Amino acid sequence: MSGGIALGLGITETITSPSYTLINEYEGRLPFYHFDAYRLNSAEELVALDSDFYFYGHGVCAVEWSERVKNAIPENAITIKLEVMPNGSRKISISDNDLEKELVKSGVLETEKL
């Protein structure tokens, strides 16, 4: 998914996992900051990495495992929830309804097949 965001921002560099580096930075149409909170134990640990300077700065930030650092995430952040369904497909829920509708309309997302 982060690879897709990077593609949309015109980043040609290979997107690698920030699980160990915590934050990877990329130059694109807008700066792209890719976070992974998997190794962090609290929101304070993320804030100590100057997350506020990224979150309230001028780039696009994607945070994986954001539920581990909930208190450090801005209130107006868009949350994308990925769930693996029993049949192996993925259910994607987006906290921003307008964005979700737009993505469905443009064919990026499929509506749920019941």
The residue range among 11-19, 42-50, 80-88, 106-114 that interacts with another protein, by the rule CB under 8 A, is 42-50
Q: Which is nearer to another protein, 20 or 56 (CB)?
A: 56
Which residue in this structure is represented by tokens 């990077």?
6
Q: Which of 44, 67, 102, 110 binds another protein (CB under 8 A)?
A: 44
Residue 73 to residue 89: CA distance in whole angstroms = 28
Q: Is 30 in the site for another protein (CB under 8 A)?
A: no
Q: Is 76 in the site for another protein (CB under 8 A)?
A: no
Q: Is 1 in the site for another protein (CB under 8 A)?
A: no
CB of residue 66 to another protein, shortest distance in Å: 15
Which residue in this structure is represented by tokens 């921003």?
96
Q: Which of 9, 22, 30, 49 binds another protein (CB under 8 A)?
A: 49
SS3 70: helix
At 31, list the tokens: 């700066």
CB of residue 47 to another protein, shortest distance in Å: 7
Helix residue spans in the chain (DSSP H): 2-8, 43-47, 51-55, 97-105
Q: Which of 53, 88, 97, 105 binds another protein (CB under 8 A)?
A: 53
Environment class of residue 80 by beta-carbon count within 10 Å: exposed (0-12), middle (13-18) or buried (19+)?
middle
